[in-house]
Structure 1
Amino acid sequence: MALCCEILLVPSKMLENSLPKCKKTPWTRARRWVCFLMLFLVMGTSALIFYNSSPQVSWPLNVWTIKLLPNQSHNNVTPSVSSIPPADLSQSEYFVPYPHQYHFILDEPNKCQQESPFLVLMIPVAPHNREARDIIRSTWGKEIRVLGQVISHYFLLGLSKEEHEKKPLEEEILKESQRHHDILQSDFLDSYRNLTIKTMVMFEWLSSHCPNTSYAMKVDSDMFLNIHNLVNMLLKAPRHLYMTGQVLRGVYVLRDSTSKWFLPVSAFPESTYPSYALGMGYVFSLDLPKKIVEASAHVKAVYIEDVYVGLCMRHLGLSLTDPPHGLFIATIPFFRGSCYWTSVITTLLENSNQLANVWITYQTQTQSGC
């Protein structure tokens, strides 16, 4: 048996050369087959143990832009979350209280209708982050007319979760609102887990306040935004049932409980998400907000806000549109040309403070003829 095991451990070419050294008797051949069978069983058992014990690898939702799986028809996937009986989900920590009657504490009820902008920028930001709001007001937020089109912006806030700073912060935000007239604050708790509520409140406000607006964009406060390129794209875009951005398709649901975007099978039984646009920046025609709000009555609200918008779009039977290549960028490329900032629409920055420096570079590139 030792000889057979030694033969099995050498490379195949050496094995061929070494076989003639063994006396080929029926008993030798039988021993050889036993060795092969034992090695096959050991290797198979080891592989099975490794597969079952290895941890599941997870990736953040906002990294991947490739098609991980081909699109599947609704008949070929497990039931969507909207088909799960509500009683099974009522206590789940992976869902948020929406639909719900939220109210605006600070509002600009007539401004959007009076201005009739071509494009409205909706910027979700934490109540305490005054610095981010001021940086945006001094950079891409100050552009109010681009290519002959009127642009408006609003900062969308919830309530502070810090009780000790609640009263003084409310007074500061009120003064800020009276000065700039660009703050919308609703009475939900402002937190990461409530981003879906924040997004749906945004859709509610747009559907009821901007009847003459063609497009809106939800854009995070730590984003570089090239409004000139955005408006140029939208002037050639569809006016109805349109949503675009960095569109992800076939993204796997993360089952690793340590992940920031974890959803268990009990909360979401499908293995992949429907197509959705990354929440850091997506654009849509103004006929969509009302439809998405109506769809939300039939789709249980998961806490991952961009995924939830994708679920509502699927419920409506609507597809997302891929933008022209290279306009919506997740992170700053390590290698980029001298005209990079004039060639894109969005890029995610490290923080809002970086925006001030990037904006200077963008203006320099614009003036140099990029």
Structure 2
Amino acid sequence: MKTNRSEDVQQDKTMIQKRLIQFLFLVVLILLIFLDVDLRHLAFTWIPKIISNATGASQVSEIENISTPEPPTPVPYVSPGLYLVEYPYKYRFLINEPKKCEEQKPFLVLMVPVAPHNRAHRHIIRSTWGGESSVQGKVVKLFFLLGLQAGEGAERLQGQLLQESKEHQDLIQSDFLDCYKNLTIKTMVMLEWLDSHCSGASYAMKIDSDMFLNVPNLVGMLVNAPKTNYMTGLVARGSAVLRDRKSKWYVPVEIYSHSQYPRYALGLGYVLSLDLPKKLVEASRHVKALYIEDVYLGLCMEYLGIPPTDPPSWGYFNVFPVPYSRCGYSRLIATTTPENNVNPLWVWKDFKRPGLHCVNGQIHT
């Protein structure tokens, strides 16, 4: 009977010790959290020793055998939501041409955002308007801007891009996920690159990959354009903010509360003087990012107090496709191309062949 009572007392003492140690452990843990101590380190150093005092050495060996988990493999940036954009943010260039502008001193830089897998568009552009490297005595330089491809085949595609970069030396790739909702990131990375590696040029044009560009007309316009605080293209005014959730361009009130956007140049193709990239990147630190990239630049321009200006001719930039004719294309700067079976290589070859484009203002074939 005495033996049983002694055992009960001993068990009670052991239980009290365990409870006391557990209580002290919780107090220490709360203090560590309050002091912002790295608990991941403690979890694999101190905690096993504390537990050993409470539970015995047999359990310690099991815990000490737990290895520190490997850090997760970095993955491409994914937007935190449909309408939120993580910018400013530190993105890195994976493929770069940091010396090209310094070496060739271009007057005009053409920046073409394009999907990593879309080599066909890059080939067409290089073979048509993107291949014009000298126009009216001015050096023109072409670059393609890409993000990262995700999913199956991404590693193989990255190897192909590295090979394409060696062949053409015109790819700029950063480590964000290349998708529609990240176009603002793509645009801001473009501006960062222009500021860091091409600020000595006079002008840059961001132009979509499905456009036709009349480079001589563009250079002719820029020869007489303002040298600073200049952005032009097809300028939108009083555009309504779309609140229909079914719309591709839906923006919730909590992201942008006004009913109209400020003046902005449509993203199909806009031109800017090369003093603006630095200013726009700085403005972006004060303007909440919006996933509609051309609107976001308009918001940054509004913050700077620099409204985009209309081009000298209203027909220079066209959001609706202009049917091809030598005369019609000779009068514009940029147009979206018709979605039909017209071969862009044939169009370019026909447009550049010798002879007058127009006769007495009429189409000449």
Both structures adopt the same fold (TM-score exceeding 0.5)? yes
Aligned-partner Cα distance in 1 for 2:325–2:351 = 12
Aligned-partner Cα distance in 2 for 1:354–1:245 = 26
Residue of structure 1 equivalent to 2:135: 146
State the TM-score, normalized to the length of structure 1.
Answer: 0.72
One-letter code of the match for 2:111?
M
Asked if residue 288 in structure 1 is aligned to residue 295 in structure 2, the reply is no
Q: 2:195 aligns with which of 188, 207, 212?
A: 207
Aligned-partner Cα distance in 2 for 1:94–1:122 = 25
Residue of structure 1 equivalent to 2:305: 317
Counterpart mapping for 1:239-258 below 5 A: 239-258=227-246
Q: 1:94 aligns with which of 80, 83, 86?
A: 83
Aligned-partner Cα distance in 2 for 1:307–1:357 = 34
One-letter code of the match for 2:332?
V
Higher relative contact order (CA 8 A, sep 6+): 1
Deviation at 1:331, TM superposition (A): 1.8
Aligned-partner Cα distance in 2 for 1:119–1:258 = 39
One-letter code of the match for 2:195?
S
Aligned-partner Cα distance in 2 for 1:351–1:239 = 36
CA contact (8 A) 2:322 2:336 kept: no
CA contact (8 A) 2:326 2:351 kept: no
Q: Deviations over 1:121-146 (max 9, x none)?
A: 00000000000000000000110000
Q: 2:117 aligns with which of 116, 119, 128?
A: 128
SS of equivalent residue, structure 1 residue 164: coil
Aligned-partner Cα distance in 2 for 1:338–1:107 = 37
Q: Deviations over 1:323-344 (max 9, x none)?
A: 022111112246x765011110
Deviation at 1:367, TM superposition (A): 2.8
Cα distance change of structure 1 residues 250 and 270 upon mapping to structure 2, 3 Å threshold:
same
Asked if residue 233 in structure 1 is aligned to residue 233 in structure 2, the reply is no
Counterpart mapping for 1:81-230 below 5 A: 93-161=82-150, 163-230=151-218
SS of equivalent residue, structure 1 residue 320: coil
One-letter code of the match for 2:148?
L
Residue of structure 2 equivalent to 1:76: none
Cα distance change of structure 1 residues 354 and 268 upon mapping to structure 2, 3 Å threshold:
farther
Aligned-partner Cα distance in 2 for 1:138–1:338 = 18
Residue of structure 2 equivalent to 1:342: 330
Aligned-partner Cα distance in 1 for 2:302–2:217 = 28
Q: Deviations over 1:57-80 (max 9, x none)?
A: xxxxxxxxxxxxxxxxxxxxxxxx
Deviation at 1:94, TM superposition (A): 1.0
Cα distance change of structure 1 residues 269 and 308 upon mapping to structure 2, 3 Å threshold:
same
SS of equivalent residue, structure 1 residue 262: coil
Deviation at 1:177, TM superposition (A): 0.1
Deviation at 1:93, TM superposition (A): 3.0
Deviation at 1:359, TM superposition (A): 1.4
Deviation at 1:369, TM superposition (A): 4.4
SS of equivalent residue, structure 2 residue 204: strand
CA contact (8 A) 1:92 1:267 kept: no
CA contact (8 A) 2:211 2:337 kept: yes
Aligned-partner Cα distance in 1 for 2:347–2:304 = 39
Deviation at 1:91, TM superposition (A): 6.3
One-letter code of the match for 1:236?
N
SS of equivalent residue, structure 2 residue 153: helix
Aligned-partner Cα distance in 2 for 1:337–1:358 = 9
Aligned-partner Cα distance in 2 for 1:354–1:243 = 31
Question: Which shows bigger deviation, 336-345 or 209-218?
Answer: 336-345
Cα distance change of structure 1 residues 189 and 266 upon mapping to structure 2, 3 Å threshold:
same
One-letter code of the match for 1:133?
R
Residue of structure 2 equivalent to 1:300: 288
Cα distance change of structure 1 residues 135 and 338 upon mapping to structure 2, 3 Å threshold:
closer
One-letter code of the match for 2:256?
F
Aligned-partner Cα distance in 2 for 1:236–1:293 = 26
CA contact (8 A) 1:222 1:350 kept: no
| Structure label with greater radius of gyration | 2
CA contact (8 A) 2:211 2:336 kept: yes
- How many residue pairs match? The answer is 278
